[in-house]
Structure 1
């Protein structure tokens, strides 16, 4: 039996829609995780659906109502295909169905905790209304150049994947305000990262970074910078241009711990930008 219900947390709140099934429908259906499936022709029926999620809590006691397709279909803006954490099932997505790319009005797409290795070009070509894209805890090593078409994207979450090289296409998404590439295998950052003028949060914690380009100093709106647990032995003087950073030894929005820093030394860096600036000025070395 397949069930599609709507749930409301409180009166007058927007409904969240849940699709669940206890039956597998063969080649014409796409199995997502355990008892949850999306039929391959679902897009024909649900193009107007507001929110579709299979991230269900078995202890959820929200009020449920059957869906009336003639009354309840509205603009479809949020799709959550995150693998269910509570179920303990190990049946995640390994690819994205083509029907997904027909939802051109999508604003938020969540694909966390799956086993996706490739993001098709169709995502950037078709889902041009995307504002938030989360693909944490997958197996990605690269991104398609078509992501540069996402002119409204302001937040992308790519932590815990398999990136060894920084995806250069990200530097072409000038609307980005939040970028998370923590817990990957990055060894360097491109100088083009300085082109992300609107970036406010840059999370690069737990990679293999050996250096930071001096162009990082162009990110004048940056307020959060995670560089901890890398292989950095130096920081460029230009990093002191980031006057909006909340950086001191008591602040969690910026960190540098867990690096073999010698220029400036770690004990200097953890005290913040003023300490780094003073170090370079005292050593008459402000070239980098």
Structure 2
């Protein structure tokens, strides 16, 4: 974002002579807008402004000692495009941040924030959010349903255990950085992130044990970093990522692909996973279809195909009873349409 001139206010009352008030922010035409820089001034509170807050398009309050931002001040920053408050002592953001309908860039990194206000969903022009190095426990649940213009979401070095399910609806997202958290899992339907180019969920250490199959459906993905987690198997679908140029998997107890394949590099890993998928093996992270296996092993008529012992015994009813013998009130519920076509697997090993 280009600005013609930047003005730094040195006086505590913001009473500095303006050198040029005819400034235009990108996307806002014919407005008299100001760039206000109060960074690195050891401020513990904000001075009373002497200018109309509606004329500010960029406000830099970074590298101070601010513990809060007044609700009344934020509510009047109606033309704000960039708000930078990184490296302060903020424990929360004002709810009135939802009034910033033109806000595109928000940097709150290096603070003490545990929650982002739900009202941030009203900042529908947001393209970049940097909340690194805070104490975030969770993100607003519906954040992905509202911030449809968001292109970069950085929440690394926090205490997040989960990402909201709605994260998978951020269709404009290009960069998702959630490393150094406490993530237990990732949303299942990530394939909706059609523009995602960089996904970093590394260094969740003992918490993250698997990667969803949908990661292999991120067709725009260029970089994937899942290093230093507890992942034992990569989904076979990763072998389909044609644009993938960088894959980091070190620091995991991987068995699929095996270490000797990983050592050969990205091409070998993709080839191994692709071959595994094409050979009929299913990724351990993808749900298996039990209906097909019932037919394969002839379970419905009480007979099995010949094959290895472990295969012959799979999905067979006790005592090899034909289905006719199960047509009693006791067993009829087993074969109701609701049970047969539900996600719950009645026949398990």
| TM-score of the superposed pair, with normalisation by structure 2 | 0.62
Q: SS where residue 166 of structure 2 aligns? A: helix
Is 1:164 the counterpart of 2:168 in the alignment? Answer: no
- Determine the structure 2 residue equivalent to 1:100: 97
- Pick aligned residue for 1:135 from 114, 131, 138: 131
Residues 158 and 21 from structure 1, CA distance in 2 versus in 1: closer, same or farther, beyond 3 angstroms?
closer
> Once the 2 structures are TM-superposed, how far is the Cα of residue 285 of structure 1 from its aligned partner?
5.3
In the alignment, the residues of structure 2 paired with residue 74 and residue 246 of structure 1 have an alpha-carbon distance, to the nearest angstrom, of 42
1:267 match: 260
- Are 1:55 and 2:62 an aligned pair? yes
Give the structure 1 partner of residue 52 of structure 2: 45
- 2: distance between equivalents of 1:2 and 1:103? 25
**Residue in 2 aligned with 1:122?**
119
Residue aligning to 2:176: 179
Cα drift, residue 128 of structure 1: 1.1
Among 83, 86, 90, the residue aligned to 1:82: 86
Per-residue CA shift, 1:15-35, capped at 9, x if unaligned?
84213798xxxxxxxxxxx52
2:251 to 246, 255, 258: 258
Offset at 1:228? 0.8
- Is the CA contact (8 Å cut-off) linking 2:233 and 2:255 kept in structure 1? yes
Residue equivalent to 1:234: 233
Helix, strand or coil at the partner of 1:79: strand
TM-aligned CA deviation for residue 189 of structure 1: 1.7
CA distance in 2, matches of 1:21, 1:223: 37
The verdict on how the C-alpha distance between 1:282 and 1:240 changes in structure 2, with shifts beyond 3 A counting, is closer
Provide the rounded CA distance (Å) in 2 between the counterparts of 1:100 and 1:261: 44
Contact 1:2–1:21 (8 Å) recurs in 2: no
Alpha carbons of 1:274 and 1:100: their partners in 2 closer, same or farther (altered >3 Å)?
A: same
Counterparts of residues 211-230 of structure 1 (less than 5 Å) = 211-230=210-229
Encode CA deviations 1:47-106: one digit per residue, 9 max, x unaligned. 23121112359xxxxxxxxxxxxxxx994210001015xxxxxxx100112343322211
Root-mean-square deviation (CA, aligned residues, Å) is: 3.1
For residues 126-165 of structure 1, give each alpha carbon's deviation from its aligned partner in whole angstroms, at most 9, with x where no partner exists.
2111111111111112111342211211111100111112
Which SS does the other structure have where 1:191 is aligned? coil
**Gaps spanning 5+ residues in structure 1: where?**
23-33, 58-72, 85-91, 248-253
Note if contact 2:214-2:237 (Cα within 8 Å) is conserved in structure 1. Answer: yes
Q: 1:205 and 1:270, CA in 2 relative to 1: closer, same or farther beyond 3 A?
A: farther
Q: Could you say which residue in structure 1 is the equivalent of 2:209? A: 210
Q: Shift in Å at residue 36 of structure 1?
A: 4.4
Question: Which residue of the partner structure matches residue 185 of structure 2?
Answer: 188
TM-aligned CA deviation for residue 7 of structure 1:
11
* Partner-residue secondary structure (3-state), 1:122: helix
Q: TM-score, normalised by structure 1?
A: 0.74
| 8 A contact 1:228–1:258 mirrored in 2 | yes
CA distance in 2, matches of 1:183, 1:37: 31
Cα deviation for residue 13 of structure 1 reads 11
Residues of 2 paired with 1:282 and 1:156: CA distance? 33
Residue 2 of structure 1 pairs with residue 47 of structure 2: no
